[in-house]
Amino acid sequence: MAVSSGCGAVRSCLGVLNQAFPLHTARSVTDMEAALQLVRNVVPPLAAWKHKGQAGRIGVVGGCPEYTGAPYFAAISALKVGADLSHVFTTQDAAPVIKSYSPELIVHPVLDSPSAVQDVEKWLPRLHALVVGPGLGRDDVLLENVKGILEASKTRGIPIVIDADGLWLVAQQPALIQGYQKAVLTPNHVEFSRLAEAVLGDPLDGRDRYRSVQRLSQALGNVTVVQKGEQDVISDGGQALTCSREGSGRRCGGQGDLLSGSLGVLVHWALLAGPEKTNGSSPLLVAAFGACALTRQCARQAFQKHGRATTATDMIRELGPAFSRLFETSAGADGGVAPTGELRL
């Protein structure tokens, strides 16, 4: 449970980097531990004086009759990272299925209702962050409802993680998210290419992923972008950070959903903590780094136990131990393998 608030070494390291190199300079340092320390700084302590809800109330908007696993993975991951309550806003048909996976989730069968936007809007004052897109599908009616939910959430200043089919919607209508600096997009390879085409009009430049991610973020008005892959590249248009912590060779579905749900909680915590705790780095960048490192650590631990049979459910079981290992020790004990991370400005 212990979370360090001290970060002198991190402060000086990132401080020097911030001053020394102008934007876009291709300069890098191995700095995984420094970035992990920033994540530790934003994790709220567990305390007897706190009440239910204070550690986070997260909403997941997604799921449809075809995809019930994805919103479940995201919502249960949010809880296991440390949120107190996790809501799923989904379609009438998908709701009982998702409920049956877990009694821990609060499931609202509203997403295909004509009053979907108002139904979700009622809950927004009680939510700290939204994760939009896991398992949403591409039905026009659902996407139109989600558009309204996004607008209502932006008006209230709610942090939004956009993943999966939420990114499909953003690729159709980038204005939906343009300039909203409490948004984080988490595209996989295909989703990133689609966004880059739609927003930059360019095919993906695979040679310089940093530059591509940074350009996409800038074009969207400094929305934070997490490009998932063999290494995860994260940028807010200014700084860029990569997470190459060891994960696993298993590419089973659902790992991105675990990441987006975890990120919903970390985004809330990081914004609450503010830039003082992240030493001037963007809280969203730090949150994104934390979610990537955590997902990869879960993959690694699950693979050690289950090998080729590893699935997202096995990874979710590792969330508690992986979180402790990364964020509740003073040194991020790693059991031997040297992690790497780079910070580029």
For residue 8, how many C-alpha atoms fall within 13 Å in the half-sphere facing its CB?
0
Within 8 A by CB and 6+ apart from 266, the residues are: 39, 42, 81, 287, 288, 290, 291
Is 256 annotated as ligand-binding? yes
Q: Is 135 in the site for ligand ATP (CB under 6 A)?
A: no
Is 250 annotated as ligand-binding? yes
Is 93 annotated as ligand-binding? no
Q: Is 63 in the site for ligand ATP (CB under 6 A)?
A: no
Structure tokens that stand for 283 in this block: 């809280």
Map the footprint of ligand ATP across residues 285-314, applying CB under 6 A.
292, 295-296
For residue 236, how many C-alpha atoms fall within 13 Å in the half-sphere facing its CB?
18
What are the phi and psi torsion angles at 287 (to 5°)? Answer: -60, -45
Is 190 annotated as ligand-binding? yes
Give Rg (Cα) of the chain. 19
Q: What string of DSSP letters covers 83-150?
A: -SEEEEEE-TTHHHHHHHH-TTSEEEE-TTSTTHHHHHHTTGGG-SEEEE-TT----HHHHHHHHHHH
- Which residue has the closest beta carbon to ligand ATP? 256
Write each residue from 236 to 275 as x if it is in contact with Mg ion (CB under 5 A), else as -, in one continuous string: --------------------x-------------------
Element (H, E) at 57: strand 57-61
Q: Is 42 in the site for Mg ion (CB under 5 A)?
A: no
Q: Which position has the token pair 């290992």? A: 325
Is 336 annotated as ligand-binding? no
Query: Any bridge partners for residue 101, and if so which?
Result: none
Q: Is 235 in the site for ligand ATP (CB under 6 A)?
A: no
| Nearest distance, CB of residue 138 and ligand NPW, angstroms | 8
Q: Is 314 in the site for ligand NPW (CB under 6 A)?
A: no
Q: Is 165 in the site for ligand NPW (CB under 6 A)?
A: yes
How long, in residues, is the chain?
A: 345
CA-CA-CA-CA torsion sign (175, 95, 113, 120): negative
| Nearest distance, CB of residue 258 and ligand ATP, angstroms | 7
Q: Is 228 in the site for ligand ATP (CB under 6 A)?
A: yes
Write each residue from 249 to 288 as x if it is in contact with ligand ATP (CB under 6 A), else as -, in one continuous string: --x-xxxxx-x-----------------------------
| Nearest distance, CB of residue 25 and ligand NPW, angstroms | 28
Query: Any bridge partners for residue 232, and if so which?
Result: 243
Question: Which of the choices ligand NPW, Mg ion, ligand ATP, none does residue 67 contact, using the CB cut-off of 5 to 8 A by kind?
Answer: ligand NPW
Within 8 A by CB and 6+ apart from 212, the residues are: 192, 196, 204, 205, 227
Q: Is 69 in the site for ligand NPW (CB under 6 A)?
A: yes
CA distance 17 to 341: 15
Q: Is 166 in the site for ligand ATP (CB under 6 A)?
A: no
Is 254 annotated as ligand-binding? yes
Q: Is 164 in the site for Mg ion (CB under 5 A)?
A: yes
Q: Give me the residues that bind ligand ATP (CB under 6 A), please.
A: 164, 188, 228-230, 232, 247, 251, 253-257, 259, 292, 295-296
Annotated binding site: 135, 188-194, 228-232, 247-257
Binding-site residue numbers for ATP are 228-232, 247-256
The site for Mg ion (CB under 5 A) is made up of 164, 256
